[in-house]
A = this chain, B = another copy of it.
Amino acid sequence: MFAFHVTHTDGAARRGELRTPHGVVQTPAFMPVGTQGAVKGVTHRDLVACGAEILLGNTYHLYLRPGGDLIARRGGLHRFIGWDRPILTDSGGYQVFSLRGRRTIEEEGARFRSHLDGSLHMLTPEKAADVQAQLGSDIAMVLDECLAYPATEAEARASMERTLRWARRGRDRFLAIRQGRAPEVHATNPGQAQFGIVQGGVFPALRQESARGTVAVGFDAYAIGGLSVGEPVDLMYDIVEETTPLLPADRPRYLMGTGTPLDIVESVARGIDMFDCVLPTRNARNGQLFTSRGKVNIKNARYAEDDGPLDPACGCYTCRHFSRAYLRHLFVAGEINASTLNTLHNLNFYLDTLRAIRESLTFGKFRSVRDELRVRFGSDA
């Protein structure tokens, strides 16, 4: 049920289609982050209206609350949250590694205390596969170790090698579930695919070794992890550029946790097909809006009497109906609607940007879309 084919290319950039048990995703694709089974501030109908074709769910949060068992009894995450389009789940690793002072990493896995009630848990490559099987996402991610930045080459090597060992264990468990050899796991999506993750920090030789090792394990597709964690943006672009040729051309490539509109177009130019990021949603809740004319900080006093739309070039509900003055008022007054209307717009902007990128790849205009995004977001992204 999982299939990918490229329909157009422009240099390393490609346009394609990803088939999943819950439908087709046009690539390059951006996945809004639905942390706890909901994208903060917007309902599913808004995501559909924005053109979101795939959501990302966070396994760490869903595992702790309401729990993988409960979701499996509901028939899986799609049915539980009422979203019938594709879902990708992360492994839970990133959130666990972010629990500084509340987690230790061992060869077996990551031991951590829940941020909710302090209870002790162990996230292993096998457990990450099990919980995602319960959730029944269309794409599961293997558990990797998320290296902090900066790290020495020795630290990065040790971490990358552990990630490779975990990759083999995670893949074995995934295949055991898929082949019916783990009947104790209540899997809810027989067509689930699993992506491997390339690590190696900012060291090209390690990235190369990681890519080769991960591809050798044999996943359905591959992601690049451990970027957008504080390294200079040019270094990130370089690593993406050096890594994508090492990944199979007939599989989608997913750059995890990235990024600004500029990061996205620059990564597409280097062969990336899938993205996720909290930037459009989190920034929206903080009043930071992306527009065709660049960024807008809606709480700025200059918008208090601005009767124009947030983005005259945007066709979203927010821009069609409300003024900057009203959006500023809602934000300053702390109204829930500020989060809703701002998130709606930012997601629309991101998904419009991805649509423009895809169209440009079809019609040989990728260069002009890339240049425009460089002008809009090059200086302050």
Interface residues of A (CB under 8 A from B): 36-45, 61, 65-66, 70, 73-74, 80-82, 304-305, 307, 317, 321-323, 325-326, 329-330, 332-333, 335-337, 339-341
Nearest CB in chain B to that of A340: its residue: B43
Query: How distant is the Cα of A82 from the Cα of B332 in the complex, in angstroms?
Result: 17
| Copies of the polypeptide in the assembly | 2
Residue pair A65, B337 in contact (C-beta under 8 Å): no
- On whether the beta carbons of A323 and B43 are closer than 8 Å, the reply is no
Q: Does A329 lie within 8 Å of B40, measured CB to CB?
A: no
A304 and B38 contact, Cβ closer than 8 Å, known pairs A43-B340, A325-B80? no
* B40 and A336 within 8 A (CB): yes
Known A66-B304, A326-B81, A326-B82; judge A335-B40 contact (CB<8 A). yes
Q: A45's contact among B40, B317, B329, by CB below 8 Å, is which? A: B317
Which residue of A36, A304, A339 has the most chain B CB atoms within 10 A of its CB atom? A36
Question: A348 to nearest B CB, angstroms?
Answer: 14
A337–B41 CB distance below 8 A: yes
Q: Is the CB of A70 within 8 A of B304?
A: yes
CB-CB under 8 A from A317, the residues of chain B are: 43, 45
Instruction: Give me the 4 closest cross-chain CB pairs, A-B, nearest first.
Output: A38-B337, A36-B333, A41-B336, A38-B335
Shortest beta-carbon distance, A142 to chain B, in Å?
A: 26
B326 touches A80 (CB 8 A): yes
Contacts of A330 in B (CB 8 A): 36-38
Q: A43 to chain B: which residues have CB within 8 Å?
A: 317, 337, 340-341
